[in-house]
Amino acid sequence: MSTVTVGQENSAPIDIYYEDHGSGKPVVLVHGWPLSGAAWERQVADLLGAGHRVITYDRRGFGQSSKPSIGYDYDTFTEDLHKLVTKLDLHDFALVGFSMGGGEVARYFGKYGSDGVSKAVFMAAVTPFLLKTADNPGGVDAGAFEGIKAAIAADRPAFLSQFLRDFFNVDVFGGRLVSDQAVQMNWNIAAGASPKGTVDCVTAFSSTDFREDLKQIDVPTLVIHGDADRIVPFPVAGNRMAEFVKGSKLIAVEGAPHGLNWTHATKLNPELVHFLG
């Protein structure tokens, strides 16, 4: 199993699991919450087919990575990503972040700049800043995120079932663009995550302000977001990215849910391959 050790908790190392396939220009895919690198299944084949080297990894606490009780904040997540990039000696690589993973992409530019990074993609991303505050009046009320954390604490498996129905807009696309089995597969991945990491990440992605990080991006940037996203609302997130990333290109996918990388892969993948080409 391919891992990079990024830290230590008591007697146990903290290892990040990754997969590294293909050759050509590298693309690093950063997954969303509460899933793993396996969530990129429908993109990996097309990117490999287009001649890319494709790297996926599991955020600490998720998938096959270690599940420590510490480090569920964006500075640590981004340090983990940078240690992976350094281990693999990546140059001229693209960063693609889905949902929560968009935060790592933004913070990467904020912490490390664009040296070595050729392009950036934000897909259904939590950027620029989800939380409603005095200087972010269009954000989501804090009570919504406290409700999520309370529901996870009360019955995490039941919460995940409802969450994934809204993730894929199953009432609209179920049996057509997403099967019951695909939803179950994602539940299995999410259920295997660290319970503490699952809760702590809600605080991280809801309360982290990425606006200054985004202003550091000086490479070609693509923003893809479904306008029927029930998890990260389009008006709060994707539709605002151009304010902070100069010259970014926005693709608003009509009627698409949060999990559009699965439901709308046949529409999204050609756009992704074209942009990264």
Q: Which residues are catalytic?
A: 99, 229, 258
101 CB-near residues (< 8 Å, 6+ apart): 29, 30, 31, 32, 59, 125
Strand partners, 133: 136
Between CA 231 and CA 99 the distance in angstroms is 9
Which among 39, 46, 35, 42 has a CA at the least distance from the CA of 273? 46
Between CA 162 and CA 149 the distance in angstroms is 14
Between CA 79 and CA 47 the distance in angstroms is 25
26 CB-near residues (< 8 Å, 6+ apart): 52, 53, 54, 55, 88, 90, 91, 92, 93, 94
